[in-house]
Amino acid sequence: MEWLQRLNDALDYMEDNLDGEISFEEAARLACCSQYHFQRMFSYIIGVSLSEYLRRRRLTKAAFDLQNGDKVLDVALRYGYESPTAFNRAFQGVHGISPSMAQKPDTSLKAFPRVSFQITIKGATEMDYRIVEKEGFRAVGVRTLLSTDMEENFKNITPFWEETISSGSTKEIVGLMNEEPMGLLAVSTCNGVDKENFYYICVSTNKPTPEGMFEVDVPKHLWAIFSGSGHPSSIGDLQKRIFTEWLPTSGYEWASSPDVEVYLDSDPINMKYEVWLPIVKKS
């Protein structure tokens, strides 16, 4: 289970550096994937963003240190807070009391234990998928900048869809569609740490790019393509199952390449869709 071991190696590194600098790039290197993919995968598997998880772990450790007699200012600086005021605000947000109150005996506090990655055998719920090598394609549409903070991305993508639909842009985008894959596409690029990553609402086309729109090239790749249906929010549930149930035992790894969602119809209640995961065979 090399995949799980690498993820746990990344967790070990972060846990060992809660009282210092934590490089998401280094954590992703230990997990053998891009920084963007590591943060996204972490969010799906654990259920909170990587930055929020680390915040909770640091404030859990901070509570222990305060109860052991450490000074508030020392603890604040130890866990990356530039001022007691910022530390006090964050501490109260998690524990519901001030740091100075936490130093008193018989005080109720919250603890967020360290997580670990492991395989859990779940119910025999089928997953429909196929593995296909696809030629590259050019897609055109609108885009929004992706943050390195996955929590921000999850907050921003839904309003981006709502704005695109309400403005009528989706109709204009769909009008450009004339090549495979047929359907409205959501493409998340993965261009490395030092380059900008974008989320596109687009279609595959050979038509010119209209003013105000952008194009993205999706390279030839091997894909694991998962089929699903239901409310659009169910896509997140399918993606979580892909990362927690399918990928660890599949013999494949998530490749550093754009990933794609294909919306096959516009039914708001029972939409048909596909999740395209770029993969490489484990060596």
Query: Is residue 116 within 8 Å of residue 127, measured between CB atoms?
Result: no
pTM of the model: 0.78
SS (H, E, C) 20-74: CCCCHHHHHHHCCCCHHHHHHHHHHHHCCCHHHHHHHHHHHHHHHHHHCCCCHHH
53-74 in b/e burial notation, b at 16+ Cβ within 10 A?
bbbbbbbbbbbebbeeebebee
> Helix, strand or coil for residue 145?
strand
What is the distance between the alpha carbons of residues 283 and 279, in angstroms, rounded to a whole number? Answer: 12
Judged against a pLDDT cut of 60, whether residue 48 lies above it is answered with yes
pLDDT (average), residues 51-67: 94
pLDDT in tens, 117-126: 765 555 557 7
Q: What is the mean pLDDT of the chain?
A: 89
pLDDT (0 to 100) of residue 95: 95
pLDDT band at residue 243, thresholds of 50, 70 and 90?
confident
Higher pLDDT, 33 or 138: 138
